Amino acid sequence: MGNPTYRAERTGLLLVDPYNDFLSEGGKVFPMIKEIATENRLLDNLRTTVASVRKASIQVFYVPHRRWEPGDYENWDHPNPTQDAIKQRHTFEKGTWGGEWHPDFVPHAEDIIIKEHWAQSGFANTDLDFQLKQQGVTHVIVIGLLANTCIESTSRFAMELGYHVTLVRDATAAFSKEMMRAAHELNGPTYAHEILTTAELSAALNASTGS
């Protein structure tokens, strides 16, 4: 790790699950991440990262979780604990405020919205790999929620498929400091090529584009 270079035509930003239920006061999951999100300045860092990426002319990919609808997970053989919780609380419910994009992260016309993932990996049962390959992307920068679930699973899958993976440790959050430590100090170094702060990423992007 060190001195990463991000060519605009070969890099993609994966913005994972930027829903109101995660990021807004009143969201169903927001109270569970609020302490870490506040400490990390999550919203500010997400805004900065997205703005830096757009300034560098890097393609933005939205990687959204399944928006709950009636009937989801019914009669499944093996729903996981998170899916059981979604079934109970109707997280990211389709057609409701909680399942809408946070107002600061509404997609632009040129952004690519990936098919919704049912569990934790943004690649499993979606078109993410196909869309990245069609855009010529080899390097992915992964931000959003949650650090130790969807971010880790999506990023691990990316590495397995041959992508260069960058995690941004303060542009994500989790339910506890222990989960954040596991995501970035224990597990992240086993698969990520770079683990940066928002400031470090912005500097690397500026250096890569000469701005």
14 near 150, Cβ under 8 Å? no
Number of H helices, E strands in the chain: 8, 6
What pLDDT sits at residue 6?
97
Residue 166 CA to residue 160 CA, distance in Å, equals 14
What pLDDT sits at residue 1?
60
What the block records as the tokens of 81 is: 């604990």
Residue 31 CA to residue 21 CA, distance in Å, equals 9
What pLDDT sits at residue 159?
98
Indicate the angle between helix axes 42-55 and 198-209, nearest 10 degrees. 10
Find, among 105, 106, 108, 125, the residue nearest to 116 by Cα: 125
Max Cα separation, the chain? 54
pTM: 0.97
Strand spans (E) along 23-173:
59-63, 112-113, 139-145, 164-173
Residue 103 CA to residue 144 CA, distance in Å, equals 15
Cα 70–123–105 angle (5° rounding)? Answer: 70
Q: What's phi and psi for 11, nearest 5 deg?
A: -120, 145
What pLDDT sits at residue 45?
98
Q: What is the CATH number of domain 10-209?
A: 3.40.50.850
What the block records as the tokens of 186 is: 């224990």
Instruction: Please give the average pLDDT of every successive group of 10 residues along the chain, which has 211 residues.
Output: 87 98 98 98 98 98 98 96 96 98 98 98 98 98 98 98 98 98 98 98 90 60
What pLDDT sits at residue 2?
65
What pLDDT sits at residue 59?
98
Indicate the helix (H) or strand (E) that contains 91.
none
